[in-house]
Structure 1
Amino acid sequence: KEDIDKIFDRFYQVDDNRLNTVAAPSTGIGLSVVKGILELHHGSVSVESKPAYGSIFIVSLKKGNSHFSPNEIMKASHEQNEFIKEEESAAVKNGQIFKNVMITEIDTFPQTPAETSSEPTGTEEKSTILIVEDNKELLQILQDILNPIYNVLPAHDGAEGLDLTRRYKPDLVISDIIMPNISGTEMCMMIKNDFETCHIPVILLTALSSTEHNIYGLQHGADDYISKPFNEKALITRCNNLIRNRLIIKNKFSHNIDFDAQSISNNPIDQKFLDTINRIIEENFDNPAFNINILAKELNISRSSLYSKFEALTGMTPNDYVIQRKLKNAADLLKNNPDLNISEISDTLGFGSPRYFSRCFKKQFNVSPAEYRKNQFIQPST
């Protein structure tokens, strides 16, 4: 009680030794700032306190603006009025305010043809984002933000989010952390440890903004971390970046199959998958009976799983990749082994017949194997 008349004074601090609770460090200016702002608006703040019960702060403000002088009234711009309207649509969850501060222009970072040409479904289709959020109001806000740009799938908890991820294989998952049944962190870890889904990027969205929580989420496989309340433009930009990075990697791979598995994915499961595929193909270069069914059997997965996983990582079908690997080796043999004739190279790489080999080679390099070899040894004129 003896502090009541002083707590609104700047830099005044209550003696924490007389309190039964552990208080956070204080600067003693918060209530002074509140009082100053209210007085500028011709309002007031007071406090009623009762030992063992707590304190009640009462803020009083007059309605309308007749009590302001002309010099005290600042006319709000159209943009400010729109901002205020959006500020009023706040969602409350676990004591946190998630403000829906809409932006008038959204940067969607249109992809160049080079970046999207590797998409098997074509550039006209939107990418798919799964949003996992147990707060209905915030889930709706996120859907409203992302729906103009992406196909959006909603999930209401971690268990449903995991099920939808496995069923639909979205291009990106955005998930809250604190949820019933399965937390966002647990769901992320399950996604990243599942062969079928570990390539899918995950953004964790949380009110826990400490560095320790960020590191914890990233250690469990999250690709990015966004703190609440979030900025719409930052959220959209991060979504765009993660999805576009995957498209760029696919495009580069389709133009250069000499890849390092680590450049395709940073997930150990994906890296092992790609390295194993390369090893199996190399071991079967001279086997004309080698096909995708054999490759899937060697990998101990179904043919459909092989196709969907490989295309998700590289943008290519496994069939096209096997042919391109063989043709690249054929080009090296034509250049570096002049003693091998076309038939021998065809047999070495398991093409079945020289005619089929020549047809595939010309389709890839626009010249026949013989012309390619001849061009490699033509000396430039001086």
Structure 2
Amino acid sequence: MTESILIIDDNEDILEFLSVVLGDTYKLHLAADGAIAQTILDQEIIHLIISDIMMPGIDGFELCSRVKSNVEYCHIPIILLTSKNTYKAHIEGLEVGADAYIQKPFSSELLQVQIANLLKNRKKIKDHFASSPFEDVRVMAHSKTDEAFLKKLDEYIQSNIKEPNIDIDMLAEHMFMSRTTLYRKIKSLSSLSPKELIDITRLKKAASLIAEKEFLLYEISRMVGYSSQSLFSRNFQKHFKMSPTEYFNTLPKA
């Protein structure tokens, strides 16, 4: 998947320069001001934001503060660009939640490395969550707001895990979000669709039940919402690279 970057700057030359530098590696969305940026955020899955600080209307500090305080977008890393070479400006950028702060003029190599590191670190966390049987979903949180969101989402899935037909509409209603907004949030935060997140939650619960050594596999498959044990076994193998039986055999003997 090609990551999507939103670039916000009222300077056309900067937008053109960054398009040349980043366009071959990432899917880019360009905005000349905060209002246009808001429209893009409402319509697209964005993985990272690069914003100038000095802009008419909504400046970079205010934009960053708005993004980081909104549950729909607060997981998105933000790089602030500025010509302000002052300690105070740097502190203010960090206070509003910026993930990185780069002074103009900057080298394209520095920016590319900063972007790659932010995205790579998030991908590592996502992959770790998906492949680790006992890792809590909140490991993917990048803020208290994200943590509360993921906790509420996970609690709902866990409490309905025996139900085979949990879907995005049920989740959206519980989270008080539109279907589209919830999809974008989950996809951007975890790289998973809501269905994939539900499936992984079922399989993680199954792994914990297997570890308890109190139930047969066909019982566990039903306890986590699978009507077919063969489908359960195939999905377990796909996510954890071993069958439920192989996983059981790796557990310490009593």
TM-score normalised by L of structure 2: 0.84
**Which residue pairs with 1:57 in the alignment?**
none
Question: Residue 5 of structure 2: SS of its match in structure 1?
Answer: strand
Structure 1 residues 223, 349: closer, same or farther in 2, change over 3 A? same
**Which residue pairs with 1:350 in the alignment?**
225
Q: Which amino acid aligns with 1:208?
A: K
User: RMSD value over aligned CA atoms?
Assistant: 2.8
Write out aligned runs for 1:281-296 (5 A). Answer: 281-296=157-172
The alpha carbon displacement at 1:201 in A equals: 1.3
**Which residue pairs with 2:46 in the alignment?**
170
The alpha carbon displacement at 1:342 in A equals: 4.4
Residues 186, 192 of structure 2: 8 Å contact kept: yes
Give the Cα separation in 2 of the matches to 1:175 and 1:196: 18
1:265 maps to 2:141: yes
Structure 1 residues 140, 357: closer, same or farther in 2, change over 3 A? same
1:311 maps to 2:183: no
Structure 1 residues 275, 305: closer, same or farther in 2, change over 3 A? same
Question: Residue 54 of structure 2: SS of its match in structure 1?
Answer: coil
1:134 maps to 2:10: yes
Q: Which amino acid aligns with 1:323?
A: D
Q: Which amino acid aligns with 2:8?
A: V
Give the Cα separation in 2 of the matches to 1:258 and 1:231: 42
The alpha carbon displacement at 1:226 in A equals: 0.6
Which of 222, 231, 243 is the matching residue for 1:359? Answer: 231
For structure 1, which runs of at least 5 residues remain unmatched after alignment? 1-121
Structure 1 residues 334, 194: closer, same or farther in 2, change over 3 A? closer
Which of 238, 253, 261 is the matching residue for 2:129? Answer: 253
Residues 133, 207 of structure 2: 8 Å contact kept: no
Structure 1 residues 257, 214: closer, same or farther in 2, change over 3 A? farther
Structure 1 residues 330, 264: closer, same or farther in 2, change over 3 A? closer
The alpha carbon displacement at 1:288 in A equals: 4.4
Which of 146, 160, 164 is the matching residue for 2:22? Answer: 146
Give the Cα separation in 1 of the matches to 2:34 and 2:248: 61
Structure 1 residues 346, 210: closer, same or farther in 2, change over 3 A? same
Q: Which amino acid aligns with 1:242?
A: L
The alpha carbon displacement at 1:181 in A equals: 1.3
User: Which protein has the larger Cα radius of gyration, Structure 1 or Structure 2?
Assistant: 1
Q: Which amino acid aligns with 1:361?
A: S
TM-score normalised by L of structure 1: 0.58
Give the Cα separation in 2 of the matches to 1:309 and 1:144: 28
Which of 57, 62, 65 is the matching residue for 1:186? Answer: 62
Structure 1 residues 203, 348: closer, same or farther in 2, change over 3 A? same
Question: Residue 75 of structure 2: SS of its match in structure 1?
Answer: coil
Structure ranking higher on relative contact order (CA contacts 8 Å, 6+ apart): 2
Aligned positions, number: 250
Residues 157, 180 of structure 1: 8 Å contact kept: yes
Write out aligned runs for 1:55-94 (5 A). Answer: none
Structure 1 residues 341, 303: closer, same or farther in 2, change over 3 A? same
Q: Which amino acid aligns with 1:213?
A: A
**Which residue pairs with 1:87 in the alignment?**
none
1:28-65 alpha-carbon deviations (Å, 9 max, x no partner): xxxxxxxxxxxxxxxxxxxxxxxxxxxxxxxxxxxxxx
**Which residue pairs with 1:241 in the alignment?**
117
**Which residue pairs with 1:102 in the alignment?**
none
**Which residue pairs with 1:40 in the alignment?**
none
Q: Which amino acid aligns with 1:161?
A: A
1:161 maps to 2:37: yes
Give the Cα separation in 2 of the matches to 1:312 and 1:180: 29
Residues 175, 202 of structure 1: 8 Å contact kept: yes
Give the Cα separation in 2 of the matches to 1:248 and 1:377: 25
For structure 2, which runs of at least 5 residues remain unmatched after alignment? none
